[in-house]
Each structure stands twice: as C-alpha cells, then as structure tokens.
Structure 1
Amino acid sequence: MSEPQSPHPDVVRALQALDGRDTEHVFFVACGGSLSIMYPAKFMLDQVSAKLPSDLYNAAEFTHRAPRRLTAQSLVILCSMTGTTRETVAAAKFAREAGAMTISLTVDPESPLAKASDHVVAFEAPYTTGIPIDAKNSNYARIYQIVQGLAARYDGGGNMVALMDSLDALQSVIDRAQGVFTPRFDQYAPHFAKQDVIYTTASGASYGAAYSYAICVLMEMQWINSHPIHANEFFHGAFEVLDENRCYILMKGLDDTRPLEERTENFLLRFGRPENILVVDAAELDFTGVVPEFRGALAPLVFFDTLWAFAYRLADLRQHEMMSARRYMKKLDDY
C-alpha cells in the first residue's frame, strides 16, 4: 500500500502561518485565466466550510472597490501565472496594507507578486515552458489543497488525504479523456474553425473553465468573438441569440449544479443544430482513482486540458499562431 501523499510544502507553510490567527473572511483575487481558477476554489470553500465566507474579485476591482470586510482578520488568496500581472501585485500590496494575510500562487517565486505577498505557493504551467506537466502540480491542484486545509483548520472538516489521492490519479484521467474527446474534436473542428462567434457555457465548479476558454483561448488566442454564459443565466436573456447557426461549447460537469447544464443542453439541442453544439461531458469519462467527492471539482481541469487540443486544432485550420499572433497581450506595456 502506497504512503499517503502530503500537500505541497508551500501549502503546508502557508497554512501553518494561520496558527493563532482569527480568520473571518477569504478573498479570491486575480485576473484573466488566473481568475478562472478562483471560481471552483470558491465553489469548493462554499461547500466545505460553514465558518469562512468568501468573495471573488477581479484584482483591479478589488483595490478600487476596497471592500469594508477587508481587515486584519482577512485572508487574501491571489494568483498570477508569471507573477507579473500589475493589478494582482497591486492587490497583494493593498491587502497587506489592510493587515490581511496574503497567499499568492505563481510559477516564479522571485516574481513581483511573490515579493509583494506574505506567502508564495509555486505551481507548474506548460504554457510558459511548452513542457507537459502532471496535473497534480497545476494551479487548480494547489488552490484546492489550500481550500481543504482551510476547511480542516477552521471547520474540522475537509478531506486532504482523499484530495491528494485524487490529484495523484488526475493526469491519467486527463490522458484517457483525450482519447474520448479527440474524435469529437476532429469532427467539430472544421466547422467551428469557420466561425466568428463561439459561446461557452457551464455552471458551478466548471464555470471558471468556460470563462477562461472564452476570454483567454477563443478571444485572446484565436480572435474568435466569445462570451462565457452561466448555464442558468443562459435562460435570462442570452438564449435569445440562439438559432440554427450559432455555435456553443457546453461543459457538463459532475458537481451539484449539473442539472443546470443539462437544462441548457436540452434547450440548445431543441432550437440549435447538433453540429453546432460541442458537448464535453465528464460523465463519459473514466475517473478511476479520483474519489467521487472530488470528481466535480476536478472535472473542469479535465475540460481545460483536453480543450486545449481542440484550440490547437482550430488554430491549425485557421492558419493562426495561437501565442505569437497576439496583437496586444505581452506586446504592450503602456496600458
């Protein structure tokens, strides 16, 4: 029998720093793709902790709104992949000036964000190096460890052992999912590559993946107009643009909000055309090794990783360079 896996040492150190600290509120703060991981993190904290209310903010709005609940009894969790996102660095400084404790996730422990924060939790990302990683070392994995640690510390709950076992099995789940979804991606890519507009939709823990895929992949890297639509908000205005020509990517997860996504799927297929509705459904996948309790939380990471393959397939068909073709991102520093 294998030894139980421990949380990452950076997570352990950050959680230990909470000893003797009266934490009354948690803030999840970031921008763009880093903000997307905050949605499932808050979703998890909402479900496992009765004692830690939380809010989620875009970093610049956080500093400008200046919530009155931000005090010395607050914990602010931030993320920036490179650690150079100026708004997030400013948010870390703002939080510390209020006396709050800050934990920042970044791939670079010497980055401006790391230096502006009380504690740094490192993670790996293939988008900076091009080298594939094990999903258990991703930003999702690290922030979930923080959340489970908070639940254990303040509620006497959480299930860190089961989470670590599940994270250890996650990469195999993703690898198997690629085999399930690749034929579907090959089928849909030629049609979707011709589109000027593609919407994404999901709910619950998966909403962050839909958000990131819309603004960071389709819009930023493909120049395809998009918008992430919450699966229930879809019925409060957004469904009026649905017709037989509009394209959607629907992510059906495994958390408690799955009925919202199923309702959206039924409506999309009722008034749209199946060839325009790309559905990625976690229920089709083999989650062997992942404890059922965490399948809903880890499904969005499976979606995110597998849909990158679809993005590159679109880019090839569009003869578009995903990273280098960006006009503004990483090209300008005066905005």
Structure 2
Amino acid sequence: MLRFNEPEFLSRTASAAALRPQIEELVDRLVDEGFDNLLLVGAGGTYAQMWPYEHLARRSSTFDVRAAIAAELVVSGDARLGERSVVVFTSVSGTTEDSIRAIEYCKARGAYTIGFTGYPDSPIAKLVDAALVTEPETWPFDVQMLFFMGRLLSRRGEFDGYDKLADELADIPRILVDVAKQAEPVAAAFAEAHRDNDYHFLIGGGNLWGFTYLYSMCILEEMQWLRTTRVHSAEFFHGSLELLEEDTSVVIFQGEDETRALTDRAEAFAKRVSKDVTVFDTRDYPLDGISPEFRGLLSPLVLDTVLSRVSKHLERVRDHSLDLRRYYRVMDY
C-alpha cells in the first residue's frame, strides 16, 4: 500500500486499545464521585471527532453531554461549566493553543479535565488533571472515545453491550489493516479519476457528519487546498443541492446508524443531477470479529481508515504533500 507503514499502524492503534483499563478506571471513579455534565472539547479535526460521541449520548442517554469548540468556549463561556463538570480534550501533538487556553479556562472554573494525546511531556498532557497517552502521532481518537463514552453509558444503565464491544475492540488494529488493504484500489481509482478536480461536494449524516466536516475542512481544504462544500444529509434539501451540476464531484459518506435513509435520499437525488457521485459505504467492509450491532458505532473509525488511503493517493496524483501549509502554524494569527 502507498505510504502505509503496517507495523507502525498496528502499534499505534494497539496503544489506543491498550488504554481500556485506564479509561474504565477513570470513568468508574468519576461516576462514583458524581458529576453533572460532560463537555467534549476540540479544535478543528479534534472538535469534529467529538460529534459522533455527542450524537451517541444524545440518542442513548439523558445525561448532559455536548461538544464545544475550544476557542469559542473560552470567549462565550458555558453556564453549566463548573465544579461538577468533566471536560475531555484530544490533541495529537498536545500543543494545540486553543485547547490549552480552554483547559486553563475550564480548570479555573473547577472542572475536571482529561486529555488524550500521544506525548506525555506535552503542554496539554501536563496541564490536564488526567492524561491518557498513546504512542506518538496516534490518530484518530475513536477507540479511546468509544471506551470512554461506552463505559460511561454502561455505568448509567444505558449501554448493555459495552463489555462485549470493548472486548472486540482488542482486535481493532488487525481489523483496520484489513479495511485499509481492501480500500487501497478504491482509493487509488478515486484519486486517478479526480486528479484535476478543484472542487468536491461532501455529504454525510448521523455519526459520520463529524467525519464529513473533518475530511472536507482538515484534509481537502487544509492539506490539499481544494475547495469544498460540506452538508449534512438531513439538510441537503434546504439549499446546498442548488450547487450541483452535471460535472460536480459529489462524495457521500454512508454509515450504518439510523440516519442511513437520509443519506440514501441525498444520494438518489445527487445521482439524478451529477454524473460524478462517489459513495464510501462502511457496509462494504466485513469487519471480521465485530458484532453486527456495533458496526454502526465504528463507522467513523472505518471511514477514517478508508479515506486516509484516498488522501495518500490524492497526494501522489496531485503532487501536493499532505504536510504542506501556507498559513496553519506558519503565520501568526
């Protein structure tokens, strides 16, 4: 596979799965001590990665769980944030300035802060009350968040299958390598067919809306300098559909939760207008070892693996490094 270091991928993903005992111990302690609300805070891609778990809580639990943008939280505040709040942060590098300021803000208001990162000596790891550390550069954070949210909902009697899911996630490194291998020819074909496209229209819904936002903004825009439109499949028919033309590249992210029908509806319409509709569907990947009832929860993780292969092939055919930036962490702002 193009620029895919399998031993490194396996090791990093295993380091996330290995956090299960620490995460469960932490969640159990917090539940036993009692807290009233949970904030899931990030910036850019790490903010988008919180949405599936806010979505999971919203449809499964009566507990107060919400995602927040780090910079906005600091300037706008949150009336519910206080001594009975728990706030979770994620940062690959542990150096995200907006998140650092948000941690300081939350701690000043008495909240208990948790950080997932790959660097134990990073500013974020040193600043939070509890740092849970993987190998460096481990991404995404879905495994850790599944453990955290799953355990929390389980303790509240709102997720009966958590232990079974957590046991199955022990094999997630191998499962995702299989996904990457299956996705490789699909990714290569998409990149070759779209090497000259400078605009893509992305659609997703449910627990894949966060990934849709992330891939549009953080990959295609930030890393490839491509113009995009991103729209939730439930909102597609309220304006954005007017942008479709016969040659518009439409990229659809299809998952396996209860919102699948909404994305099906958007896909059907898009294909009536555009001759260039690509669907990345998690149902196409076997996920050997994962029970059917959990497949939908893993959709963001599966699509991240699939589209990471697309990113590498776009980098190749467009001769545009995924590490190249003009402004992000280059200029002061």
Report the TM-score, using the length of structure 2 for normalisation: 0.88
Which residue is 1:33 aligned to?
45
Q: CA deviation at 1:18?
A: 0.9
Letter in 1 for 2:321: E
Q: Which portions of structure 1, spanning 4 or more consecutive aligned residues, are displaced by more than 4 angstroms?
A: none
CA RMSD of aligned residues (A): 2.1
- The whole-number CA distance in structure 1 between the counterparts of 2:158 and 2:191 is 47
Q: Deviations over 1:258-300 (max 9, x none)?
A: 1111111111111111xx2121111122022112232111121
Which residue is 1:300 aligned to?
300
- The whole-number CA distance in structure 2 between the counterparts of 1:141 and 1:241 is 36
CA contact (8 A) 2:183 2:309 kept: no
Report the TM-score, using the length of structure 1 for normalisation: 0.88
- The whole-number CA distance in structure 2 between the counterparts of 1:259 and 1:231 is 9
Q: Does 1:252 align with 2:251?
A: no
Q: CA deviation at 1:8?
A: 2.4
- The whole-number CA distance in structure 2 between the counterparts of 1:261 and 1:305 is 20
CA contact (8 A) 2:244 2:270 kept: yes
SS of equivalent residue, structure 2 residue 89: strand
SS of equivalent residue, structure 1 residue 82: coil
Which residue is 2:328 aligned to?
329
The 1:219–1:190 alpha-carbon spacing in structure 2 relative to 1, beyond 3 Å, is same
Q: CA deviation at 1:53?
A: 1.7
The 1:6–1:303 alpha-carbon spacing in structure 2 relative to 1, beyond 3 Å, is closer
Q: Deviations over 1:95-122 (max 9, x none)?
A: 1111111111111122111222111122
Q: Deviations over 1:128-147 (max 9, x none)?
A: 3xxxx7x8xx5110111110
CA contact (8 A) 1:151 1:157 kept: yes
Which residue is 1:170 aligned to?
172
- The whole-number CA distance in structure 1 between the counterparts of 2:292 and 2:135 is 25
The number of aligned residues is: 317
- The whole-number CA distance in structure 2 between the counterparts of 1:235 and 1:146 is 35
CA contact (8 A) 1:123 1:139 kept: no
What are the ranges of 5 or more consecutive residues in structure 2 without an aligned counterpart? 1-16
What are the ranges of 5 or more consecutive residues in structure 1 without an aligned counterpart? none
CA contact (8 A) 1:204 1:255 kept: yes
Letter in 2 for 1:11: I
Q: Deviations over 1:230-267 (max 9, x none)?
A: 11111111111011111122111011111111111111
- The whole-number CA distance in structure 2 between the counterparts of 1:104 and 1:179 is 31
CA contact (8 A) 2:50 2:210 kept: yes
Which residue is 1:53 aligned to?
64
